[in-house]
Amino acid sequence: MMSKKYQLILASKSPRRKELLAGLGLEFEIRTKEIEEVFPPALFKEEIPLYLSNLKAKAFLDELKEDDLVITSDTIVWNENKQLGKPKSREEAIRMLHSLSGKEHEVITAVTLMSKEKTHSFYQTTRVFFSTLSQVDIEFYVDEYSPYDKAGSYGIQEWIGFVGISKIEGDYFNVVGLPLFTLNKELKMF
């Protein structure tokens, strides 16, 4: 368990991240800000979520009290040397799932911990292996689960994860949205 030195603030609208952090048995409040998630085009792989989680944390800097600790996070899907973000349309979601079908990709989640005195960021990578998905399965998933708030157009904890993911290497919770094992360790050291 973490000491009570800090009042934790989870800066995320994600119900999955809220549930995951609660699973660590920590007390926290949720505060959010509208941040335009834009990153320099020269960034590569883990640099993208690290940049975005830092950007989200910096938005809180001026309002943090001495005992506040804000937790921000960003998750990307890295496939064929490019980042897959959140789909903006049904067609884009279907296209993304086709690009993942029958292949391996990486899910990278970066987390930033920020207090008034210091900032610390880290990331975790999990390799995900998709079996070959049929057009019917892809369309069913997109239409029934509306994965428009998920990087790469899927949630591992949903139907597509049950029927389409044959294997993962790394932290399952990282794919859901927070690398819990590493986050717990980093919070204790912070």
Which residues are catalytically annotated?
Answer: 74
Give the contacts of 141 (CB within 8 A, at least 6 positions apart): 97, 147, 154, 158, 159, 160
